Structure 1
Amino acid sequence: MTTTAPAANQEPAQGPVPEVFHKTDTAYALDRTGYSASGRLFFQHGLFKDVTGSVINPRILADLRESAGATDGDIELKVADIGTGNSAWAQDVARGAGVTGFKFDVHGFDISDEQYPPSHILPNNLKLSVADALVTPPEELHGTFDIVHVAQFAVVRPLHDDPGAAIDHALALLKPGGWLQWDEWARDTNNHVGMKKLAPSPRCEWALGVSSKVFPEWLIEGNLADHLSKHGFVEATRFKYEPRPDQLPALTMLWFLTGDELVRFGYEEPTRSLFLEALAGAFAETRDPSIRAMFSTATSSVVGKKPSSG
């Protein structure tokens, strides 16, 4: 039996969410060319920073400060941002990342430069280049960086079953003793984003059930730290951040912005219509004064250290 998502004025469809979805053939399931996509990235970065309270995980900076020992000046760190997009994170780090005692030399990489800002407005300590994060990096970049940052790679389809290619790429870029920080919007092991609501919200539940089918197991099950350990990282740890209640409206809007972009650029008919109807029904429940559903999407950073020797 074919199931469809409910329109805003209908009861939710019964039965399981379909297992078969009609994807486009693109490796990146979001948009690179439109202004709304780049705007979402800036919004996403600011919200992630607001929820986590930092741009670079404090565990990383504390270890690198300790490794540097006594110093009379700022500790200089080389940072790579893999899949930099519009360079929102990279620009923040280049401008100091809100921390003291460090100077950052930042290099952003992406397989496409379509979202890069004009070079003349970038900080002098930020460089942007085109590179593929799923292949071995050029030899001259091996062992170059103190920190490698990866974010939101759950929509990179070649990594759906195994994120190992990107992990190996990051490991090659790092100096011995350097750190990887991998940021994602977290989901729980029941394939659901958390919700806050005043009454039952069946259309939101339907939309979450549909969306849970498009993300990889390593994100849904939260086992990315295990993958890092398997590929040679030590001290692999997952940090999960629960948002404050006042952050939920913004997180909810980010969920819809991302979902709408994913639907329009990552899927073909009839799946596209299924997703769009699911989003419309869910959004209606977020505006219904008797329900006022909000998505409590958690954020997570998985960090791991490249062994200092061996």
Structure 2
Amino acid sequence: MGSSREEEAKAEVFHESDVPYALDRAGYTASGRLVFQHYLWNDITGNLIHPDILADLTATTTPTDSDVQLNVADVGTGTGVWALDVARRSGTHGIKFNVHGFDISDDQFPPDYLLPSNCLLSVSDALATPLEELHSTFDIVHIAHFACVRALGEDPSPVIAHALALLKPGGWIQWDEWARDDQGKVPLVTQAPSPRCDWVLDVSSKIFPRWLLDIAGHLSKHGMLEAARHDSEPPDYLLPGCTMMWYLTADEVVRFGFDEPTKSAFLDALMVAYAETRDKSITAMFKTCSMSVVGKKPKC
């Protein structure tokens, strides 16, 4: 890629299209990326629901009690892969899960006949007040990967308010995103200088909203207790998978979230960066760490 195209992309970085959601819902590659992302996340963290949440919600039970019943909401469920994974684990470790996944579109939902009896998927807008019959219904509200929901701008309050309405008193929010450092960047692991990878990571840090860096602070501002961020680093053997997931996501964001000439300039930049990843003397890898932010709704 020539330097003029690179400078053009830098100059146009905030000239985005006006789409409220900078990803794809219709294509099979988008749905495949979400499924791949889910299982990669599981490999990194080793859990679907953060252990602190389960420990708190099951603290009052005794070995003689019947199974704990937990109602779980999955806001922004997409393909439903997280909701289905939690539902199929119902009954393990003495905990039964009833899971309800919500998304603004059902385009990526699996067929109804594949859903177990303890899993339901529905259309709902996470930026609006949920239906009244759903208020104070759930023990856990899971939110994941809202970084590309441009309709939020720099204020995640609508999603937090939506989740709080769904939660029972004493219930928990778990908000999952791919972690970034205090500058909004993803760490780079490389054997030699990789200027193109450095550049695409720097640009991506400017694209995503700053609220990602302090979700715990936003939860606290809404009265959530014990708000805390938990990061998990991928082991080295998962770095190739993490890197491919980053490229797939970046490619999708560029194609569906930007207009020309920025789109073409960014796609060119990704191809050159990928050449540094494939170059055996450089092997630039993106260390995408998982971030789960948890917070508890007061009991009264």
TM-score norm. by structure 2 comes to: 0.95
Cα distance in 1 for partners of 2:64, 2:130 equals 32
- CA apart distance, 1:152: 0.2
Cα distance in 1 for partners of 2:60, 2:111 equals 36
Which shifted more, 12-21 or 262-271? Answer: 12-21
Cα distance in 1 for partners of 2:143, 2:91 equals 19
Match of 1:40 in 2: 33
What aligned pairs does 1:173-188 form with structure 2 within 5 A after superposition?
Answer: 173-188=166-181
Match of 1:84 in 2: 77
Match of 2:46 in 1: 53
Cα distance in 2 for partners of 1:16, 1:187 equals 22
**Counting helix residues as a fraction of each chain, which structure ranks higher?**
2
Match of 2:248 in 1: 257
| 1:47-96 CA-partner distances (Å, limit 9, x unpaired) | 01110110000000000001445652210000000000000000000001
Match of 1:127 in 2: 120
Cα distance in 2 for partners of 1:37, 1:14 equals 29
Per the alignment, in what secondary structure is the counterpart of residue 246 of structure 2?
helix
- CA apart distance, 1:202: 0.2
What aligned pairs does 1:1-310 form with structure 2 within 5 A after superposition?
Answer: 6=1, 17-18=10-11, 20-68=13-61, 71-96=64-89, 99-219=92-212, 222-309=213-300
Cα distance in 2 for partners of 1:303, 1:18 equals 37
Per the alignment, in what secondary structure is the counterpart of residue 96 of structure 2?
strand
- CA apart distance, 1:277: 1.3
Cα distance in 2 for partners of 1:251, 1:97 equals 28
| 1:82-119 CA-partner distances (Å, limit 9, x unpaired) | 00000000000000179421000000000000000000
Cα distance in 2 for partners of 1:128, 1:217 equals 30
Does the CA contact (< 8 Å) of 2:178 and 2:290 recur in 1? yes
| 1:273-304 CA-partner distances (Å, limit 9, x unpaired) | 12101111110000111101000011100000
Cα distance in 2 for partners of 1:136, 1:158 equals 15
Structure 1 segments unaligned to the other structure (5+ residues)? 1-5
TM-score norm. by structure 1 comes to: 0.92
Structure 2 segments unaligned to the other structure (5+ residues)? none
Cα distance in 2 for partners of 1:209, 1:20 equals 11
- CA apart distance, 1:21: 2.7
Which AA in structure 1 matches 2:18? D
Which AA in structure 2 matches 1:107? H
Corresponding residue pairs, total: 300
After TM superposition, the runs of 4+ consecutive aligned structure 1 residues lying more than 6 A away are none
Does the CA contact (< 8 Å) of 2:13 and 2:207 recur in 1? no
Percent identity, please. Answer: 60
| Cα 1:160–1:27 shift into 2, 3 Å | same
Which AA in structure 1 matches 2:55? A
Per the alignment, in what secondary structure is the counterpart of residue 154 of structure 1?
coil
Cα distance in 2 for partners of 1:85, 1:71 equals 38
Does the CA contact (< 8 Å) of 1:111 and 1:133 recur in 2? yes
Which AA in structure 2 matches 1:305? K
| Cα 1:14–1:109 shift into 2, 3 Å | closer
